[in-house]
Structure 1
Amino acid sequence: MSCSRNLKNAIIALLVPFPSIIFYLTFLNHYHSAINTNNTSFSSTLWTWCYHHPLLFANALFFINVNLLFWLIGQFQSSHWMIDPYWTVIPVMLVHYYATHPLAQYDLWRSKIVILLTWVWSIRLTHNYFRRENWQWGAREDWRFTEMSQQYGKQWWWISFFAVYLSQQMFLIGLSLPLYVVHFVNKPLSIMDLVAIVVSLSGIVIAHFADTQLHDFMSRNNKLKELGKPVVPLLDSGLWYYSRHPNYFGEQLWWWGLVVFSWNLGHGWTFVGALVNTLCLAYVTWLVEDKMLKKESRAEAFRLYQKTTSVWIPWFKSFPSQVKNKNA
């Protein structure tokens, strides 16, 4: 039964983006047909709008294909699991959409670098997602969605559209604005592009090692449970020795690195997406830590961990004696 559900969810997840892909390829076909026949305008007002408004076009595809279709599938399955794996896929789809849009004008090398980095980020995060889910499709939804469904009860069916999907559109489109700028501003590479590469790549590497250390820690604890032995209350080694949430820190570095690309191209306003994401992660951090403190088996150890270890940015520990002096 579990294998059958896994296969069904995999098929659904692989097929679900096809409406957007087919519609966009149809648009490109109409555009190239118009160019080949020396027709300076599209025969359809719809295609003309898609041509002149690439960012709005991306939002329209997101709203129909993700917000509406994913939401309907979530209603049928009573689980909004699919937005999690697609969080890692949508930026890849967006960067290729921006790069292939007829109005796109960009430096080819910057485009190749950004596309490659986006793929590396996506593969890392997708691998981490499926590793965490034991390589299953749709085994569970995000625990925050489950808690909200319990909180809102019978009203959750419509609230979920805004809380799970419309909010994700604002986040993902906002975070991906630098990908748009990179492909619609044509300026030669500069030293700031190197800075952007270093920041983005550092974020990917830090997040990878942090998530791998967390996965190994959870795996060891699961084995201890199976053997009937006491588990280790918290992870405080490796990157987690210097930060309570190094995976969140790495993820933020990635998005802020993209902002450096667009800032260098004269569009620093795109920082708004990364800023909103940082504020959101601050709230998620509070939720995760509150959840940790509610577990009696690790509450005391985690309180000490909070006092001695930086929240996000990896830094040297404050030892208990220093903490006492600060509180004195």
Structure 2
Amino acid sequence: MDMGAVRVRNGRGSNLKNAAIAFLVPLPSIIFYLKFLQHHYTCSLHPLLLANALFFLNVDLFFWLIGLLQSSHWMIDLYWTVIPVLLVHYYATHPALRHYNWWRSRVVILMTWVWAIRLSHNYFRRERWQWGAREDWRFTDMRRQYGRHWWWVSFFAVYVSQQVFLIGVSLPLYVVHSVDKPWNVWDSVGVAVCACGIVVAYYADTQLHYFVRRNYERKELGLPVVPNLEEGLWRYSRHPNYFGEQLWWWGLAILGWNLGQGWTFVGALINTMCLAYVTKLVEARMLQPEYRANAYRLYQKTTSVWIPWFRSSPLKHDSKKNT
């Protein structure tokens, strides 16, 4: 028997199994909420408390158990793009949240779908259109770091922490559906910032995708790979994809502030702090391969971390270092 054909069949079987799991896992929360709406249950829980309760039971506990059984916590990475969509529809239909501006709601729902489709497309493109082929490299590193304790540490490090992030950054989606105020210029500003974030992140991730693919093709042909991507948006920022993602969440924070709920900026702030830490990890990872280390150090000296800006001369940094 051809072992290559066996591996292909096994891979397809695993891909279909993971796809089925991904579609089925949110059903408990969805079915419960549909029943909740159908029977008009009187729930004493605040909409945010109910959202957190469903998240804890369906994502933290259920996803965690599946991750333990599969020895891979791949699913939370995929659901980063799905949960905000579920939340925005949850807030838009909750019986306790009936007084809000219809147009603002529809614009935010549409933008959330566009954001989610873009991010999902990038996820599957990066994973070569496979479901659950691998988990986030940061989780894999932590798995090695914590060893036999990872089974319980993962519950907090992977899932409970994600609840804080996702519920936090989605707070403006709640505010949009809990405050009735006419559309004004600051709504337009917030929407413009969100749209810019989606566009910047799309082009940055697309440029990175083609760079990785070209390097893979060069490697297959026995040609030397290009150490760094320094073209397009990446010429002006070392992490333009992160910059675009932050614009999206801070644009939503502007909407929350405009509706008199400035406290909702805390979600965008937490996300920015998280991305700052992730940036540090990514840059340390970029410096590990010898073929790329020197070129990336030079890239760090001349190129802005997040906010796109004109490149500086490496001689300028060397002169500062020598004075």
* TM-score bracket for the superposition, by shorter chain length: over 0.9
Tell me the residue number matched to 2:44.
Answer: 49
What is the CA-CA distance between 1:130 and the residue it aligns to?
A: 0.2
Amino acid at match of 2:117: I
Q: Secondary structure at the match of 1:276?
A: helix
Tell me which of 67, 74, 92 is aligned to 1:99: 92
What is the CA-CA distance between 1:157 and the residue it aligns to?
A: 0.3
Tell me the residue number matched to 1:117.
Answer: 111
Tell me which of 155, 159, 172 is aligned to 1:178: 172
Tell me which of 198, 201, 221 is aligned to 1:227: 221
5 Å matches for 1:103-182?
Answer: 103-104=96-97, 105-182=99-176
Cα displacement string for residues 21-43 of structure 1 (whole angstroms, at most 9, x for unaligned residues): 00001111111xxxxxxxxxx5x
Q: How many residues align?
A: 312
Gaps of 5+ in 2: 1-9
Mapped to 1, the partners of 2:136 and 2:82 lie a distance apart of: 17
Mapped to 2, the partners of 1:261 and 1:230 lie a distance apart of: 48
**Segments ≥4 residues shifted beyond 6 Å:** none
What is the CA-CA distance between 1:294 and the residue it aligns to?
A: 1.3
Q: TM-score, normalised by structure 1?
A: 0.94
Tell me the residue number matched to 1:37.
Answer: none
What is the CA-CA distance between 1:197 and the residue it aligns to?
A: 0.7
Cα displacement string for residues 119-169 of structure 1 (whole angstroms, at most 9, x for unaligned residues): 000000000000000000000000000000101011000000000000000
What is the CA-CA distance between 1:321 and the residue it aligns to?
A: 2.5
What is the CA-CA distance between 1:64 and the residue it aligns to?
A: 0.4
5 Å matches for 1:241-260?
Answer: 241-260=235-254
Tell me the residue number matched to 2:260.
Answer: 266
Q: TM-score, normalised by structure 2?
A: 0.95
Tell me which of 30, 41, 61 is aligned to 1:21: 30
What is the CA-CA distance between 1:103 and the residue it aligns to?
A: 1.4
Gaps of 5+ in 1: 32-41
Q: Secondary structure at the match of 1:64?
A: helix
Mapped to 1, the partners of 2:114 and 2:154 lie a distance apart of: 31
Mapped to 2, the partners of 1:202 and 1:170 lie a distance apart of: 25
> Are 1:191 and 2:200 counterparts?
no
> Are 1:71 and 2:80 counterparts?
no
Mapped to 2, the partners of 1:190 and 1:142 lie a distance apart of: 40
Tell me which of 276, 282, 294 is aligned to 1:288: 282
What is the CA-CA distance between 1:319 and the residue it aligns to?
A: 1.2
Tell me the residue number matched to 2:55.
Answer: 62
Mapped to 1, the partners of 2:39 and 2:47 lie a distance apart of: 15
Tell me the residue number matched to 2:82.
Answer: 89
Amino acid at match of 2:179: V
Tell me the residue number matched to 1:35.
Answer: none
What is the CA-CA distance between 1:320 and the residue it aligns to?
A: 2.0
Mapped to 2, the partners of 1:277 and 1:28 lie a distance apart of: 32
Cα displacement string for residues 154-206 of structure 1 (whole angstroms, at most 9, x for unaligned residues): 10000000000000000000000000000000000000000001100000000
Q: Secondary structure at the match of 1:136?
A: coil
Cα displacement string for residues 84-111 of structure 1 (whole angstroms, at most 9, x for unaligned residues): 1100000000000000001112100000
Mapped to 2, the partners of 1:311 and 1:145 lie a distance apart of: 24
> Are 1:10 and 2:19 counterparts?
yes
> Are 1:325 and 2:316 counterparts?
no
Q: Secondary structure at the match of 2:43?
A: helix
